[in-house]
Amino acid sequence: MTDPVSRLPSAGIDADALFARLDEARVRDADWRAGRIWSLVYHAGSEHTAFLHEVFRRYSSENGLSTQAFPSLGRFQAEVVAMLATLLGGDGRTAGAMTSGGTESILLAVKAYRDQARAAGNARPKMVVPASAHPAFMKAAQYFDVEAVVVPVADDFRADLPRTAEAIDERTVLLVASAPCFPYGTVDPIGALGELAAARGIGLHVDACVGAFILPFLRDLGHRVPAFDFGVPGVTSMSADLHKYGYALKGASAVLYRTADLRRHQFFVDTAWLGGLFGSPGLLGTRNGGIIAAAWAALMRLGEAGYRDLAQRTWTLAERLKAGIRAIPGLRLVGEPDMTVFAFTSDTHDIFDVAQRLADRGWHVDRQNAPRSIHLVVTPHHEAAAGRFLADLAAAVAVAGPTDAARAAESAALYGVTSHSRSGADPRAAVIAGLERSLDHA
Ligand SMILES: *Cc1c(COP(=O)(O)O)cnc(C)c1O
């Protein structure tokens, strides 16, 4: 490796030399091409990716900040939102916006409910959030000063309906549900939550960031899919990532609202700026046109048939992996996952020891705390790697140490509440130190 860089090179470096350095820099990166990482990369084949890169290249200098200057980008975004609305049971009144990712979609939705509440005279709005919901809801709570009441999940790892109902008070403006939640791949009881929200006259946001491009197609294919979208009357908004199973380039998601009047509360307007009237629908200013165009092109290129095939392949592979995991003595799935993301744990073996042994064999798997488990996001790209993974997993379990019963019980009692260590170390300080290392490390 070359020495860390801390100032601009005095003269620019030759492109080929830089390409070599770029390739060298990634030697310790996860080998997603070989299907060795079970999260973070959603790949629908090299031909599809090459197509996206070509679309990106054509629009990479355009700026989504101004759809007046670039009406093409306005049109692509409106069409992406319209296609998603149709896919997710919306109608002619459904309104939305493209965003940079699931986090931004969620932040914007929470901000919209907050500002709608404020406009109605509720200065201190609250939302009820299942402990399994994505941390972006807690980020939104912090950033926008909305009180989040976190409710533990039920024994089936889905949002707990009675506890949710109990948590609602006169300040509550929003319930949150996931379709599915990321940790367990379970879909919350959205039909019942929708009834509850409608009866109490409050909103229900369904986070379908990871499910939006799988669940509708599994339903088409005849799989049992719980009601999860705008077809449920109480659902008032949804988030859907294009850059996950939508197989767009990273940096693309959408937020949808049942009606445009809720969306209006998402906007930011400054009429006093010396630079002129300023309006912005989302968090960002400048946005790469290439990402927007590529998201539109991904939907158009794959179409219903393409997504249905990808969903079927992914489902089949996930079923094969689940069966393979169940067949390994000592392993079991966490809950009953509805989709192609899921977690597995062990009552007999130290599952983090298993994870470490997988890492030693070149696999990148995410670890979860409640219960201690290994998490997998399955994509069609894992087809070639799945057999090897199951064999390595069986081998890892065979030599892994026994479960630490005390620790397992502790984490099981803490569903959704991250407990990192019994050593007394402050997990928050450890996370902050990790963030600083990741930002400052050269
Ligand atoms: C990925 C994900 C998010 C956050 O999306 P980002 O694009 O990473 O910001 C939110 N909710 C769920 C369920 C997700 O899977």
Cα angle: 84, vertex 90, 93; to 5 degrees = 110
Looking at residue 416, its pLDDT comes to: 39
Which of the 8 DSSP states describes residue 127? E
Distance 241 CA to ligand 1 centre (A): 7
When computed from its CA atoms, the radius of gyration of the chain, rounded to whole angstroms, is: 23
Distance 400 CA to ligand 1 centre (A): 32
240 Cβ inside 6 Å of ligand 1: no
> What is the chain's pLDDT, residue by residue, as a tens digit (442 residues)?
678 899 999 999 999 999 999 999 999 999 999 999 999 999 999 999 999 999 999 999 999 999 999 999 999 999 999 999 999 999 999 999 999 999 999 999 999 999 999 999 999 999 999 999 999 999 999 999 999 999 999 999 999 999 999 999 999 999 999 999 999 999 999 999 999 999 999 999 999 999 999 999 999 999 999 999 999 999 999 999 999 999 999 999 999 999 999 999 999 999 999 999 999 999 999 999 999 999 999 999 999 999 999 999 999 999 999 999 999 999 999 999 999 999 999 999 999 999 999 999 999 999 999 999 999 999 999 999 999 999 999 999 999 999 876 666 555 544 434 444 445 678 899 889 889 998 887 5
Q: How far apart are CA 332 and CA 322, in angstroms?
A: 9
Q: How far apart are CA 103 and CA 99, in angstroms?
A: 9
pTM for the full predicted model: 0.95
Looking at residue 14, its pLDDT comes to: 98
SS3 category, 295: helix
The answer to whether residues 63 and 70 touch, using CB atoms and an 8 Å cutoff, is yes
Residue tagged 């197509």 (tokens) = 51
Which residue's alpha carbon is nearest to atom 8 within ligand 1? 102
Distance 209 CA to ligand 1 centre (A): 5
Q: How far apart are CA 425 and CA 428, in angstroms?
A: 9
Looking at residue 418, its pLDDT comes to: 44
105 Cβ inside 6 Å of ligand 1: no
Give 313's contacts (C-beta < 8 A, 6+ positions apart): 380, 383
Mutate-to-test residue for ligand 1 from 39, 103, 178, highest number of ligand atoms within 8 A of CB: 103
Give 62's contacts (C-beta < 8 A, 6+ positions apart): 70, 72, 73, 288, 289, 290, 293
Q: How far apart are CA 296 and CA 422, in angstroms?
A: 48
178 Cβ inside 6 Å of ligand 1: yes
Interaxial angle between packed helices 136-144 and 102-119, expressed in degrees from 0 to 180 and rounded to the nearest 10? 40
> Pick from 219, 211, 268: which is nearest to 241 by CA?
211
Which of the 8 DSSP states describes residue 212? T
Q: Which ligand 1 atom is at minimum distance from the Cα of 178?
A: 13
Q: Which ligand 1 atom is at minimum distance from the Cα of 243?
A: 7
> Pick from 93, 80, 24: which is nearest to 299 by CA?
80
Q: How far apart are CA 355 and CA 239, in angstroms?
A: 31
Calculate the alpha carbon distances from 150 to 8, 135, 160, 373, 384 in Å.
47, 11, 11, 21, 40
Paired with 374 in beta bridges are 344, 367
Residue tagged 């006259």 (tokens) = 201
> Pick from 2, 9, 236, 297: which is nearest to 110 by CA?
236
Looking at residue 209, its pLDDT comes to: 98
The answer to whether residues 388 and 362 touch, using CB atoms and an 8 Å cutoff, is no
Which residue's alpha carbon is nearest to atom 5 within ligand 1? 102
Q: How close are the terminal C-alpha atoms of the chain, in Å?
A: 12
Q: Which ligand 1 atom is at minimum distance from the Cα of 102?
A: 5
